[in-house]
C-alpha cells in the first residue's frame, strides 16, 4: 500500500549491494530533501489551524506567514538563510511541537523530524545529501520503477510500484511469472488514514490489499513475502497511541 516504505527498501538494496549513491546522484536528491523539509513544516503549520493549536510564542504567527511567502518563491534546490531561520524558529515553538505530537491526525512525512531536527546541517552552503539523507527522502512512486543488483552471484530485478489506489491498476496484471512478491506493511500505520481516503485506516487497507494479492490468479505460483516495516516508528508510537484505534477488540 502507499507509504509503506517500498521505495526505501529498494534504495537500501542499492546502498548495500551496489556501493550506494554516487556523489552526483546524492547531489540530485538535494531538491527532494529541501522539498520534504519545507512541505513537512507547512503541513504541521496548516494542521495547527485545523486542530486549533496556538503557537507557544504569538510572534511565531508572523514567521508562519513569512514561511508561506518564502516557500512560494523559493528557488528549487536552494534553502536561503532567511527561510532556514524561519523554519528553525517555528520548529522550536512549543505549539508546533504539540501539533507534531498529534501527527496521526493529519498527513505528515515520516521523515519530518529527521530533516527538521538536522536543519542546521542541511541548510548550510555547500550541503551534500548523505546516503542516509537520500534513504529518508519521500517521493510518491508512480508507475513501475525497475532496479537491478547482484547478491552472492545471483542477479536480481526489483520492481517498485505505486501503492496508492490510483496506481495499482497500472501494475497488478503486469507481474505474472515473477519469482516473489515482497509485500510491505508499515507497522506504524495502525493509527493513520489513507491520503486518498481519510475514512480508511491504512492498516485495514493493507490487509485488504494483501488478501486480494494472495488470492489473485496472476500470483497462484508466486512466493509472497510479508515484510513488516517501520518497526522503529511503531515502537515509539505504541507508547502513546493504542492499538485499539485499529483493532478495537485488542486488549
For the annotated catalytic residues, the residue numbers are 3, 8, 138, 160, 164
Neighbouring C-beta atoms of residue 20, cutoff 10 Å: 16
Residue 217 annotated as part of some ligand binding site:
no
Residue 161 annotated as part of some ligand binding site:
yes
Residue 138 annotated as part of some ligand binding site:
yes
Residue 239 annotated as part of some ligand binding site:
no
Q: What region does 138 belong to: left with phi over 0, alpha with psi -120 to 50, or beta?
A: beta
Residue 163 annotated as part of some ligand binding site:
yes
Residue 10 annotated as part of some ligand binding site:
no
Contact 41, 90 (CB under 8 A): yes
> How far apart, in whole angstroms, are the C-alpha atoms of residue 170 and residue 176?
13
Residue 162 annotated as part of some ligand binding site:
yes
Residue 232 annotated as part of some ligand binding site:
yes
Residue 2 annotated as part of some ligand binding site:
no
> How far apart, in whole angstroms, are the C-alpha atoms of residue 37 and residue 207?
31
Task: Report in angstroms the alpha-carbon separations of 30 from 63, 126, 141.
Answer: 24, 11, 18
What torsion do the CA atoms of 3, 9, 10, 11 make, to the nearest 10 degrees? Answer: 100
Q: Mark the binding-site residues for GTP, compressed into ranges.
A: 3-8, 110-111, 135-141, 160-164, 229-232
Q: Mark the binding-site residues for Mg(2+), compressed into ranges.
A: 7, 141
Q: Mark the binding-site residues, compressed into ranges.
A: 3-8, 110-111, 135-141, 160-164, 229-232
Amino acid at each position: 500500500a502507499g507509504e509503506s516504505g517500498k521505495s526505501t527498501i529498494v534504495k537500501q538494496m542499492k546502498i548495500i549491494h551496489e556501493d550506494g549513491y554516487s556523489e552526483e546522484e546524492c547531489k540530485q536528491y538535494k531538491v527532494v530533501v529541501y522539498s520534504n523539509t519545507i512541505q513537512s513544516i507547512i503541513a504541521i503549520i496548516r494542521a495547527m489551524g485545523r486542530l486549533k493549536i496556538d503557537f507557544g510564542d504569538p510572534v511565531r504567527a508572523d514567521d508562519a506567514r513569512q514561511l508561506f511567502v518564502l516557500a512560494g518563491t523559493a528557488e528549487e534546490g536552494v534553502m536561503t538563510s532567511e527561510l532556514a531561520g524561519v523554519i528553525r524558529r517555528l520548529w522550536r515553538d512549543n505549539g508546533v511541537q504539540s501539533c507534531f505530537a498529534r501527527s496521526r491526525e493529519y498527513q505528515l512525512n515520516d521523515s519530518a523530524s529527521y530533516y527538521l531536527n538536522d536543519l542546521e546541517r542541511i541548510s548550510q552552503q555547500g550541503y551534500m545529501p548523505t546516503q542516509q539523507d537520500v534513504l529518508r527522502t519521500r517521493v510518491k512512486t508512480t508507475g513501475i520503477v525497475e532496479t537491478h543488483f547482484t547478491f552472492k552471484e545471483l542477479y536480481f530485478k526489483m520492481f517498485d510500484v505505486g501503492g496508492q489506489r490510483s496506481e495499482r491498476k497500472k501494475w497488478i496484471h503486469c507481474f505474472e511469472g515473477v519469482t516473489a512478491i515482497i509485500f510491505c506493511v508499515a507497522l506504524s500505520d495502525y493509527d493513520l488514514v489513507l491520503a486518498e481516503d481519510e475514512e480508511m485506516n491504512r492498516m485495514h487497507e493493507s490487509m485488504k490489499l494483501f488478501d486480494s494479492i494472495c488470492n489473485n490468479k496472476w500470483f497462484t505460483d508466486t512466493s509472497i513475502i510479508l515484510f513488516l516495516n517501520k518497526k522503529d516508528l511503531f515502537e515509539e508510537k505504541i507508547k502513546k497511541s493504542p492499538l485499539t484505534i485499529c483493532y478495537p477488540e485488542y486488549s
